[in-house]
Structures are given as structure tokens and as C-alpha cells.
Structure 1
Amino acid sequence: MRTQNNLLVELFVEELPPRALKKLGDAFAGVLRDQLVGLGLVDAASVLTAYASPRRLAAHLTHVSAQAADRAVSQKLMPVAVGLDAAGQATPALLKKLASLGADAAAVPGLRRAMDGKAEALFLDSNAKGATLAEGLQKALAEAIAKLPIPKVMSYQLESGCALPGWTSVSFVRPAHGLVALHGDAVVPVEALGLQAGRETHGHRFEAQRDPILLRDANSYAVQLEEEGAVIAGFEARRFEIARQLAEAALSVGAGAQPIDDDALLDEVTALVERPNVLVCEFEREFLGVPQECLILTMKANQKYFPLLDAAGRLTNKFLVVSNVRPDDASAVIGGNERVVRPRLADAKFFFDQDRKKSLASRVEALGKVVYHNKLGTQGERVERVMRIAHAIGEQLGAASGDHALARRAVQAAQLAKADLVTDMVGEFPELQGIMGRYYALHDGLEHAVADAIEDHYKPRFAGDALPRGPVGIVVALADKLETLVGMFGIGNLPTGDRDPFALRRHALGVIRMLAERHLPLDLRALIGQAYAAFGAPKAGDHPLADPTEALEAFMYDRLAGSLREQGASAQEVEAVLAPAPQRLGEVPKLLAAVRAFAVLPEAPALAAANKRIGNILKKSPEADAHVSELLLKEPAEKALHAAMQEVVPTANARFDAGDYTASLQTLAALRAPVDAFFDDVMVNAEQSDLRLNRLGLLMLLHRAMNRVAQLERLAAA
């Protein structure tokens, strides 16, 4: 019976990069387990626990065997005709092959014959001894280290008494100083990064009760580290403890107080501390006159603090610090953090005060000196293009809604939308672009709709982000994203694989969402054309801009298709709806619903198959046109189909034009019987050319009628 026990492996290192810590911990433990499973040392009931703290990566595995079970191995040698001569004796080739595998002629009688394709081959069957844990863990550890997603590798020399020629250099994410490998209470003799495994580890730099810590066995790891080393080793356990302390500290400040909700910040702080201790600090109230976004960002980005908000979501003058020490008197730690944050907040106040001394409008000229792209000119030139696009879109939407001031407001917002890029605050905190533009626009006395649009024209910034809050913001956001898409596609700067430095996929989805979710009466191809026209004729020396309409439209539909599939639509449904390239994207959800309702009708499979057949016929008949002469309808079945179409198609078209796509498709279901009869009884490719063309014309009219809502042939079974 194989001996099983729990396994603990730890790499003790210098402080790991905090933003990569969780990923490093999960990868180290996951690869280690997968390798041991592959070697047969871990069974299906095994439970993996990953540990990751600023100075350690570790994994705990249950049900790990001291030695894997032996396994049967079958090795193909060669065809029988090559390995045995006419007398059935081994050929030199077979003996040579056996020797290379550690066997000799004595193994020949025991070789197994079996068919391998069309020829019979010889196989050598044997038992391979299962790997010992020491052997398997050595391989698994090497693989786990090699596969770590290290953001940046460091090279360092192994510790030694003096610098001597021939010192060994090691490359790892950070210098490693300890290796633990325990199977139960026994040390597994493995090595990694120049370190020999043992049972010693280290706790908190300043607050450990003893150093080093001698681990009793694999199961005591987390408990001993916490009790003797003042370290919470598990990333999730430490994160939970920090979240608990943050909520508790906020409650102590007052009812309704809450720390800012930021998972990325919580993850980063979890990766920075080993023994979290949340403390309440505060700053002077005078700083609350600065926009809270500025203060929140400087506290989060520079100091990793958690700002405290009141019940209404407004910033208070208190903030929470996650300290890595727990002194009896925390006043020195609190005072130190308050002193550190004060100059940061003073800088933000200074930038805000200085920026407001100049209007946004006065900064527009400076954008002409800021390079946007070497083939597309400056930010100033880009602003001019966005203004032209915004004017065209604003005119269309304004006419449709009766808001005759929409175009004027949109052009004004587009002109000022990038002006905050040349302010001190955005220069220091680029994440505040748009946000600061809104504050400065309001300070300049501009309309709220214009100020909101300046902030909102960047939206949606990510999946699930809110759309711009008003029509002016929608117009400017569309103009800004279309200018980027057309410009980048026009110079051939397209996304490739995972690379998308100008976020063109995100911009495309933003345009799609605004058109679809706001049901805007705008045609996609016309929008792209307006954006392309805004670039105008290239000046002397300018880079020529190719017309990107076809490629960009295909790109947009591809993004839309992916989005619809993510929302649960089938590939067939999406292809059917998007194949006709619907220009009003706000209609796509209704088209999709119509296709789904049609697909469950009993007539749907036959009509979809017929539509596919008609499409194939028409592809081979370029001479056909959509025209039918009743005088040339000879067969009863074609007369019946024509008569049915005369009755059904106008009704279906009227319902389509009214936007009732479901009813339009369901009306066409009545054509199933005459369509089936037509294909059963009528020869389309008649020898008489006028009859053939007339029948092709009838099919073309039918094909057009059936494909107004969606390309039904996409629903046909393969």
C-alpha cells in the first residue's frame, strides 16, 4: 500500500511585486499540483491550498503519495516485416532497437504483435516503476518555477562567503532565500534556485515571536506562521481580514461612513502587508474644496489609502491606512501617514487653483502643439475633425428630436473636450481627463449639458460602463470614437491578436452600444462616411488616408456579433440577423427576437432550407432580375406560388416597415406549402430562356421578401 500524506512546499523570497502576487501564488500552486497529478503522485481526492504573501509563495496538497504506482508501458518498435526475418528470427534492426531500450534478444519471444494501421507491428510491453516523491517533486518544482508569470526577471548571485570567479547567477522574480518541502513531518530532499529544502521559514520582519520558525509538519504551516510569525499566509484570508477591519474602522467613524469600494486597491494592499492593521487618519477640511476625484485618486494611487465616504457618497476628511505593524501605541503610525498625505493633497489643491486661472477655451490653441499621431497630426487637428463629425451627427439627431440647439452644444463640447489635457491636474493625473474638464467648464459658466458632455465623451470606457448621460454627450462620444476608428483604420493601424494599443475594439463596442441602447436613428455606414469626410483632402506632405468604410464596417459587425453571442444568442441566430448588414443597430434586438420566434414555427426548417436552395440557384444565375411576367407562368405550381406571394408579401412588407419584424416573418410562414410545391413540380432551369428567366425572377422576388428581416438560409441545417 502506498504511503500518503499532505505536502507543503514554500519558496521564501524578498518582497514580490504586489500587483502580480495573487497571479504568482495561484500559478505556482496550480502548476505544482498539475505536475504531481501527471506523475501519479496525487489522487483525485487531493485538495490544493495556495498561499501568497509579500515574501512567500507556497502550496499545500492533501493525499500525496510517497511513490507513484507502477504503470504498464507499451512501446512500438517497428513493423513485423522489418523486425523479423522469414524464419521468424530477430533482425539486426530489431536487436539494435531493443538494445537502445535496455533489452536484448531474450525479449524477442515476449514481443506483442498488433495491427498498426494497415501493417502488423511489434510492441514491447513492460512495467515502469512509479516515480518517488523526491523525483517527482523535483521535476514539478522546476516546472512551476519555469512557468511562473513573472512580470520582470531579476538576476542575482547565490550567497557565498566571498566573491569568487565562477559564481552561479540565478534568475527569478526576486532573490530567493529559503525552500521548504515537507511530506507530513519529513523533509523531501529537493532543491531549487540554488537552495536545499528544509523545514525552516521566516515570519514578519519585525513582529515574529521567533526567527527562524521550525515547521513541525505540512499541516501546521498556516497556524505556525500566524501564531509564531505574525503572518497571515493565505492571500484570500488576508484580504478578508483587511475588508473586515476596513468595515469595522468605518463604523467607528460614524453611521453611514464607508471605505471606497475598489477591488484592485484591496488586492494590491493585500499583497503589500503580512499582518494587516487598519488605522483611521484624517486631513484638514480645507482640502475638501478640491474635487473629490482628485483627492481620492492621489490617496489611492500614491499612498494606497482607502478614502472614507459619507452615506451620500461624498468624501470626508478621514481615510483608512492598512499598516503592516501593530504597535501598542499607533499614534506615531497615524501621525506619519497624515504628514505624508498632506503635501499630496496640497499639490492637488495647487493644481486645481492654478488651472482655474485660465479658461478651457483659452487652452484649445495649445492642443495644436500636442502630437496625437505622426500620421494623423496634432490633438488640435483631431479636435477640428471631431467638431465636424459632431456637427453632422448633432444636425441629424437634432432634426429627429426637435432639439435645434443640439448641434451647437455638441460642437462647443467637442471643441473643449480635450482642453483639460494641457492642464496641470491632468498632467499629473491622466486618469482625470474629462472629469477635470467638466469641473473647469462649470467654473467657466458653461451649460451643464456641455460640461457633462466633456466628461462623458470618453464613455463607455470599459465593458459595463455607463453611457453618456445626455444627448450632447452621446453626440460627442460618437464623434470622438468614430474619428479614432476611421483614422486608425485609414492608416492601417489595426488591432492584431491581443494587441490593441488604441483600444479600437473598445471604441467599436462603445459606438455599437450607443447606437443600439439609445435606438438612435443613424445608419452605421453613413456615420463612417461622415467621419471619413471630416478628414478632408490631405494637405501637401500629409499621410493619405485610405477609405476604411468596408473594413471598419466589417470590424463593427464582428464586434457586435461577439457581443450578441456573449449575451446568449446562438451563432446561427447572429449570422442570420447580421448577414444583411442592418444599418440601424437599435433594431438588432428586435430582429433577433423575430428570428427566434420564427425558428420555433413548424414551417421554419423547410423555408430556411428552401431559402438556402434559392440562394444557391441565384448565385449560379447572374442573368436573373427581379421581374415576373404573368403571361410566362405556365405550371400550376408556379402560378400558385406567384398568387400566394401577391397576397402574403405585401402584408409581410407592411409589417416590416412598421417595425413588427416578428409578425413579418410569421406572415411569410404561409408560403411554405406553395414553395414546396414549386420545387417539387417546376423545372427552374427550363430550356426555353424566357421561361427560365421568368422563374428565376420569381425566385429572386421571393428571396428578397424572405431576407428582409434576416438571412433565413443561415438557420438551415448544415
Structure 2
Amino acid sequence: MADLLIELICEEIPARMQMRAAQDLEKLVSGALKDAGLPHGSARHFVAPRHLAVYIDDVADRQEDVSEERRGPRADAPEQAIAGFLKSTGLARDALLEQDTPKGRFLFARIEREGSATTALLPDMITRILSDFPWPKSQRWGATRFRWVRPLHRVNVLFDGAALPGELDMGGGALAFSATSCGHYFEHGDDISLAGVASADDYVGRLRDGYVMVDRAERRAAIVDGASALVDGQGAKLRVNEGLIDEITGLVEWPHALFGRIEDGFMSLPDEVLEASIRVHQKYLTTEDEDGRLTPGFVVVSNRLADAARDDVILAGNQRVLRARLADAEFFWQEDRQAPLAEALPRLADIVFYEGLGSVHDKAARLAQLAAHIAPAIAGCDGAAAGEAARLAKADLVSGMVGEFPELQGIMGGYYAEAGGAPAAVASAIGDHYRPQGPADGLPATPEGLAVSLADKIDSLVGFFGVGAKPTGSKDPFALRRAALGVIRIILESQTRLPLRPVLAASAAAYGFAAVDDDLLAFIRERLRVSLR
């Protein structure tokens, strides 16, 4: 038994692909060893921006010898049949045995196959795995035909702590296996020898000495703990965003948290605008008070060792960039509120919703009709307010703020409607009409919001099915599965009794379709089955 370490070093792997790649590497290597008849112990995967590795304990040194007895044709069979059997076994005629069976006398071949050494099997095994690795996107570089997510620089393979001879055929070149890793770009310029690595923890420790936390869980914990400690010292709480923390984990090799402040003048901007500028565009962690309100602090995670003078420079640079970003947001916030939201509606006619489905202005008109149609089915819903909210729901698409921060569409419409004096029910419904955007998102907060959200999702479902733009297999470019699940969640969780057939028919009539597409109800039923599992 011996341990196997495979480490791949390439240019920065996109953060969103790292975790899946590490799991795939472990699964593929473990599966290949099993298929080759090489039992092994536990496996651990590791990933950092430039490192992808798997460590497998107690791999068998060689395959077991195999003794196989194979029955052939009858002993008196035609020579042509016997020749075919000899060809399939690779044996000569005098190596066959004749044995009596209840069905007569048959020829048998006894095949003894000696197991191969693991070290002889690994090079081809690794080449096949890497050549067929399931990256969502990959590239070629140089003169080779080999594809990888980013240019691949090293393939380190160690078996029983020793470098394994071999190379990766890259189709136009070869990359020899090695046993030398690398440390942090700036903090550790020397190579890291992996010779004699004795365990997964030993591997992790060697890279840690080179200022690379190759264990993703350790790196993530360092980010959360470091940021939380800084924020606690400022009398605030870290606003935890799991997706953002995961993304930052994939961007740094040696995380070091720094605390910065948002200028007070920008704190009058809506929380969503601040979050979009700070979190989405700058990848900073935000802070909040005990009541969950955003506070004027943020955490930037540096990819360097702590150094007071350098930290000041890094923080000053990040605050300068954030100041410019927030100044842009403040300009759009002030500019967009100069005119009522309704004045933006004519400009929606210049935006095509989808070929064959008219403009976004046409969609707004359909939504107003459909929301008013749905409103009586929802307890406490004001039909006039729902219709007005639906008419204005898409108006913010031509605003400066949404042009800069597309993720704020709908939300900004709610703020602009409120600033223009719209009733609270209308403003809230506009701001919530995209919800729920996923299983973790809540429903719209008001009955009018429920009506507008249902109208928006049903309009999209009827329209795209009506022109044949249906989901196929894993492809769903218009998020119609999510729209159907949103309709189902709203109806079930709000305990609304809504007869879908007449609503779908009303939506189809607004498009000018003769009827609802036959596949749509079946599609919604299937989404219901999925949601109830």
C-alpha cells in the first residue's frame, strides 16, 4: 500500500469552477483506480486559485493476478469456430483443455494474467482523466491541442512519496510529471518540494509554509474569522453573504482582512444600492448593526501577508475606487428621480422583449391587464393598485441606475415610484415583482406584489411557450423553470386559489395567440412534482 498525490498547477481557476473541479478530480481518480482493480483508502481534494489536488491513502501497489477459465465451443466443433475462440483468448490449440459437462464435451481456456504495477498504470490513467476533464469552459494555448480551464504549468504526481516518471501528452507537446509545487506569487518565490510527502496534512502544511492555504475550508474559515474579528472591534456585525464569501475564497491564496469605512455622505443611498456597489462590484463584505441595518463599514480581503504600511496603501486604494463607484451611484440616484417614473414608459418601446413577443412597453401593457385579472383571486388585493404597479414595473429598465447596476431592476422602480408620490402598495409591488428569485428568496410582501409577480411570470411562460422558446434538457436560457416554480410557490405559500387555465388563456389572448401552448400546463405540473419531492 502507498499514498498517491496528484497536484495540478495552472493559472487562476475561476472561483465559481473551483469546488466542482476538486470534487470531479477526486471522483475521477478514485473511479479510475477502482476500475483498474486497485483498492484504496480515503481520498481528500484540495483547491486554491492556482492549485488543484487530490490525495488518496493506501493505494494498492499492483493489481491482483487474475486466473480466468473461459468455456469455448464443443470439442468436435468446426475448425472455424475453434479458430475464432483461439483468436479471442490469444492461446494456441494445444493450450486448450477438454472437459466433460452435462451438455457434452467442451473446450476450455485457462488464462493466467499477471497484475500490473500501479506505477505502470498511473501515467495513462492520469492522461485520460486530464484530457477528458469536464470543465464547463476550457481553452487551448500555444501549439498544443490539449484543453484546460487555464494554461496548465505543472502536473505533480507522487506515489509513496516519490516522483512518478511519466508525462502528459498535450497533442503537439508534452508536460513531464514533476514533484515540485509553488508558493504564493509575491510572498514565496521559491519552489516547494513535495518529495517524501507522507500524508494529506503534510501536503497542506508544506503549501501553508509557502503562504498558500490549499485547504478550501481552512481558507474560508480564515476569511470569516478574520473579518468577524475586525468588525466586532468596530462595534458592528459582519453581514454574512455565503455566496460572496465562497467567491472570495476562490480569489485568494492567503487571506488577510482589512477594515474600511464608507463616507457618511453616501449612507443616504438605499441599502440595495450600497450593497450592489460594495458587494457585487467590489467583492467587499458589508457590516450591519444589531437591527440588521447597514453600517458605514466594509471589509476587503487582501491576498497578501499583513504589513502595516502596505495595508494602508491597499486600503486607501480600495476606498478611492469605492468612493468613485458610490459617487456614480449617487449621481444616478439623484438624476433618475428628477422625473416621474411614468415618463420613462414610452422609452420601453425601444426595447425588444423577444422576437415575436413585442417590446417591453407591450409587456408592461399586458402585465397591467393580467394583474387586474388576477387581483380578485388574492385576498386583500387592490385591483387598481396592482394594475398600476404592473404598468410601471418595467419602467426602471431605462433608468441610469439600472443601466449601471442591472441587478437592481425592480427594486429601483419601487424607490422611484415612492419618490414620485405613488401609494405605498404600488411602490412595494413594483419593488417586489421579481420575487421569489429562487428557493431562498421570500415572496412579495403585499397582495398587490403577489398579483404583479404572478402576472410577470405567467406572461413570460405563455409568451415563450407560444413562440416555441421552450426549455430543452438542461438548457433554460429564459429561466422558465424558475418562473413556473415561482408561480407554484406564490399560490401554495400565500394559500391563493387561482384557476390557472383561465389566467393562462387571458395571457395568451393578450399576446394575440389562438390558444395556450399545449405543453405549458404539463410543464407547470412537472415543476409542481419537482417542488413537492
TM-score normalized by the length of structure 1: 0.69
Alignment of 1:487-498 (within 5 A): 487-498=463-474
> What is the deviation of 1:183?
1.9
> What is the deviation of 1:525?
1.7
- Change over 3 Å in CA distance of 1:74–1:333 after alignment to 2: farther
Give the aligned partner of residue 137 of structure 1. Answer: 122
> What is the deviation of 1:438?
0.9
Once structures 1 and 2 are overlaid, which stretch shifts more, 492-501 or 355-364? 492-501
- SS of the aligned residue for 1:253 comes to coil
Give the aligned partner of residue 256 of structure 2. Answer: 277
Alignment of 1:48-197 (within 5 A): 48-75=43-70, 77=72, 79-80=73-74, 84-85=75-76, 91-95=79-83, 97-99=85-87, 101-109=89-97, 123-157=108-142, 168-192=144-168, 193=170, 194-197=174-177
* CA distance in 2: counterparts of 1:332 and 1:104, whole angstroms: 79
Alignment of 1:150-549 (within 5 A): 150-157=135-142, 168-192=144-168, 193=170, 194-208=174-188, 210-219=190-199, 220-227=202-209, 229-254=210-235, 257-329=236-308, 330-394=311-375, 396-397=376-377, 406-535=382-511, 538=512, 545-548=513-516
> What is the deviation of 1:205?
1.2
Matched, 1:554 2:533: no
Identity of aligned residues (%): 37
- Change over 3 Å in CA distance of 1:343–1:120 after alignment to 2: farther
- After superposition, the C-alpha distances for 1:667-686 in whole angstroms (9 at most, x for unaligned) are xxxxxxxxxxxxxxxxxxxx
* CA distance in 2: counterparts of 1:169 and 1:112, whole angstroms: 56
The count of corresponding residues between Structure 1 and Structure 2 is 525
> What is the deviation of 1:65?
1.9
* CA distance in 2: counterparts of 1:362 and 1:268, whole angstroms: 39
> What is the deviation of 1:110?
5.8
Once structures 1 and 2 are overlaid, which stretch shifts more, 500-509 or 274-283? 500-509
Given that 1:114 and 1:121 are in contact with CA atoms closer than 8 Å, whether structure 2 keeps it comes out as no
* CA distance in 2: counterparts of 1:437 and 1:510, whole angstroms: 21
* CA distance in 2: counterparts of 1:377 and 1:208, whole angstroms: 58
Given that 1:23 and 1:149 are in contact with CA atoms closer than 8 Å, whether structure 2 keeps it comes out as no
As a proportion of its length, which structure holds more helix?
1
Given that 1:18 and 1:54 are in contact with CA atoms closer than 8 Å, whether structure 2 keeps it comes out as yes
Give the aligned partner of residue 162 of structure 1. Answer: none
* CA distance in 2: counterparts of 1:559 and 1:275, whole angstroms: 43
* CA distance in 1: counterparts of 2:391 and 2:128, whole angstroms: 56
> What is the deviation of 1:123?
4.9
Unpaired stretches in structure 1, ≥5 consecutive residues: 158-166, 539-544, 567-718
Give the aligned partner of residue 7 of structure 1. Answer: 4
- Change over 3 Å in CA distance of 1:397–1:212 after alignment to 2: closer
- SS of the aligned residue for 1:95 comes to helix
Given that 1:114 and 1:123 are in contact with CA atoms closer than 8 Å, whether structure 2 keeps it comes out as no
* CA distance in 1: counterparts of 2:214 and 2:483, whole angstroms: 41
Which residue identity lines up with residue 261 of structure 1 in the other structure? Answer: V
> What is the deviation of 1:389?
1.2
- After superposition, the C-alpha distances for 1:458-497 in whole angstroms (9 at most, x for unaligned) are 1121124211111111111122222112222222322221
Give the aligned partner of residue 579 of structure 1. Answer: none
Which residue identity lines up with residue 13 of structure 2 in the other structure? Answer: L
* CA distance in 1: counterparts of 2:184 and 2:151, whole angstroms: 17
- Change over 3 Å in CA distance of 1:179–1:553 after alignment to 2: closer
> Which of 1 and 2 has higher RCO (CA within 8 Å, sep 6+)?
2
> What is the deviation of 1:169?
4.8
Given that 2:370 and 2:507 are in contact with CA atoms closer than 8 Å, whether structure 1 keeps it comes out as yes
> What is the deviation of 1:122?
5.1
- Change over 3 Å in CA distance of 1:121–1:203 after alignment to 2: farther
Which residue identity lines up with residue 52 of structure 2 in the other structure? Answer: L
Give the aligned partner of residue 671 of structure 1. Answer: none
Given that 1:51 and 1:235 are in contact with CA atoms closer than 8 Å, whether structure 2 keeps it comes out as yes
* CA distance in 2: counterparts of 1:124 and 1:546, whole angstroms: 71
CA RMSD of aligned residues (A): 2.4
- Change over 3 Å in CA distance of 1:76–1:187 after alignment to 2: farther
Given that 1:179 and 1:198 are in contact with CA atoms closer than 8 Å, whether structure 2 keeps it comes out as yes
* CA distance in 2: counterparts of 1:121 and 1:531, whole angstroms: 74
- After superposition, the C-alpha distances for 1:188-247 in whole angstroms (9 at most, x for unaligned) are 2232242222321111111127434354324231111112x1111111221122122122
Bigger Rg, structure 1 or 2: 1
Which residue identity lines up with residue 105 of structure 1 in the other structure? Answer: R
- Change over 3 Å in CA distance of 1:214–1:474 after alignment to 2: closer
Which residue identity lines up with residue 275 of structure 2 in the other structure? Answer: I
Once structures 1 and 2 are overlaid, which stretch shifts more, 143-152 or 317-326? 143-152
Given that 1:215 and 1:224 are in contact with CA atoms closer than 8 Å, whether structure 2 keeps it comes out as no
* CA distance in 1: counterparts of 2:157 and 2:225, whole angstroms: 32
> What is the deviation of 1:301?
2.3
* CA distance in 1: counterparts of 2:514 and 2:71, whole angstroms: 59
Give the aligned partner of residue 26 of structure 2. Answer: 29
